[in-house]
Structure 1
Amino acid sequence: MTPPTRPLLELDEVVVEYPGKGRGKKPFRVLHGVSLSIAPGETLGLVGESGSGKTTLGRAVLGLAPVTGGAIRYQGRTVSGLGKRERRALSKDIQVVFQDPFTSLNPAMTVMDILTEPLLVTGVSRADAERRVQGLLDQVYLPLDAARRLPREFSGGQRQRIAIARALCRDPKVIVCDEPVSALDLSTQARVLDLFVEIQEATGVAYLFVTHDLSVVRHISHRVAVLYRGEIVETGDAAKVTENPDHPYTKRLLLAAPVPDPDRQAERRAERRELQRAQAEAG
């Protein structure tokens, strides 16, 4: 599938800084002028190691991290720096799926209450909201009786399906996916990734898919951007970046992925150490 090229979401030289800890300390800069764009119906995989700034970038898109420079635009409108009321209105179009589905779901509420809540607060009738929820449960392949149950009664993969259903409640145009499969076992990961792809094909939603795993972004992304120390060091077609990258850091990420052959794994570790050494010498 080739998505449209007109940007839906744009990040233009975005800078995120947090105040320094202690009097007189300089602000800590997490993102150093990041520019990205996502088209309608496209998945942009954002990959990097822990501490690279990738989660901060996702939080900036959601209005949860302070944008101290540059701009974030949605459908051409600058949305960085919006007030709380305007940000709540924007949440209809920009939603999120977090890494840990259990902590993101209220353990005291049934699935029906969790999924109807964002609809009821916008004035949708309870009857219409419950019909919508039944359709969402079917869309994410959960049984209809799931609506009457509590989050603790489900497996990790099922809870993530509930979180995906909640993100879909108001028909968003963009979903920020923050490491949404990293807490799942490999077989469950594959099923949830396939669900993301299926939902995108059915609805045209765009994803900003944040992960540390190049194999995951290869599976789901149209394009990939690689973030290193708060800067984009490589971006391009998913197959190219995840199979034949140009930047040494991306090559190191690729070599860090485990392979079943012990001899080949040892070779990859040696190659990665050599790349680290060469990159350190280069500055």
Structure 2
Amino acid sequence: MTAPLLSITDLVVEYPGRRRTSFRALHGVSLDVRPGETMGLVGESGSGKTTLGRAVLGLAPVSGGSITFDGADIGTATKQQRRRLSRDIQVVFQDPYTSLNPAMRVGDILAEPLLAQGIGRGDARARVAELLGQVNLPLDAADRFSGEFSGGQRQRVAIARALAIDPRLIVCDEPVSALDLTTQARVLELFAEIQERTGVAYLFVSHDLAVIRAISHRVAVMYRGRIVEQGSVADVTERPQDPYTRSLLLAAPVPDPGEQRERRLARLAASAAARVDDTTPSTDPMTAEAAR
């Protein structure tokens, strides 16, 4: 079996409180991402999945456990070490409308990480043209501002920026949740095409199991800062073992009213069967979200 590219072991993330109390966002989380694969991380709002991605990127405090990338510990990397890591680890954020600088032309946005790595302007321009072709945008997009594009096109620009310096891992934080369903499908196809062509690995964060099922090789299900189930995409989405995972699957809407009614009843039954404690959740995701 191929050695993991990214290994997260017993990761704890705590945020300090105002009155000497702290909030623990992650409770001993462990998972790995292998070269060239997509590890899907799914859970409802507040489950800790985005915190996990931020910890990998050095944007959340690591209070315990370890994060290793290609065998090197990066959980406590310095700012200088993080700058070097940016060549290998990139990110695509959720909102395509705020993740791009509206005052910069697309060509400058894409050239910025290249110039930061010491690549000459001529080579950077050539690479920008190549990147636009990879994400199926016209060459003249380089001379336009991000505000001139649709949400799906902006996310393609964000993906191109993440790919600019040939990273080995991209953390994808809800990268299609702000897009309509048709555009979601196109962007997911683009992610898959890029992975097949370049061999890049993804840590793909989403609240939507349908998205995770479409893009992932393996899946980890998070709830209350813990992973309650993980395995191949077929095992987790077709033969779930944990009550919360079953409830999460049943919460996904279907277009047929009769089937939707049956799923609602099954979801209630799954919620009732779940254990009520901090380690194995029992609350239906739709009910929990409504209660917030």
Cα deviations by residue, 1:225-248 (Å, 9 ceiling, x for unpaired):
001111111111101211221111
Match of 2:142 in 1: 147
1:277 Cα deviation after fit? 2.4
Question: Quick one: which of 8, 11, 31 aligns to 1:11?
Answer: 8
Identical amino acids, percent of aligned pairs: 68
SS at match of 2:274: helix
Superposed CA RMSD = 1.1
- Is residue 2:176 matched to residue 1:181? yes
Cα deviations by residue, 1:107-164 (Å, 9 ceiling, x for unpaired):
0000001000111122111110010000000000000010000001001100000000
Alpha-carbon distance in structure 1 between the residues aligned to 2:97 and 2:163: 17
Match of 2:217 in 1: 222
Which residues of structure 1 form unaligned runs of 5+? none
1:256 Cα deviation after fit? 0.7
* 1:27-176 pair list within 5 angstroms: 27-176=22-171
Cα deviations by residue, 1:225-282 (Å, 9 ceiling, x for unpaired):
0011111111111012112211111111100111011111111112212222222557
8 Å Cα contact 1:215-1:242 kept in structure 2: no
Which residues of structure 2 form unaligned runs of 5+? 279-292
Letter matched to residue 156 of structure 1: G
Match of 1:231 in 2: 226
SS at match of 1:117: helix
Cα deviations by residue, 1:174-227 (Å, 9 ceiling, x for unpaired):
000000001111111000000000000000000000001111111111000001
SS at match of 1:170: coil
Alpha-carbon distance in structure 1 between the residues aligned to 2:119 and 2:213: 38
Alpha-carbon distance in structure 2 between the residues aligned to 1:206 and 1:11: 15
Q: With structure 1 as the length reference, what TM-score do the two structures score?
A: 0.96
Q: With structure 2 as the length reference, what TM-score do the two structures score?
A: 0.93
Alpha-carbon distance in structure 2 between the residues aligned to 1:174 and 1:154: 26
The number of aligned residues is 278
1:5 Cα deviation after fit? 2.7
Match of 1:23 in 2: 19
Cα deviations by residue, 1:87-114 (Å, 9 ceiling, x for unpaired):
1110110000000011010000000010
Q: After the TM superposition, which of the residue ranges 138-147 and 241-250 deviates more from structure 2? A: 241-250
Match of 1:274 in 2: 269
Letter matched to residue 213 of structure 1: D
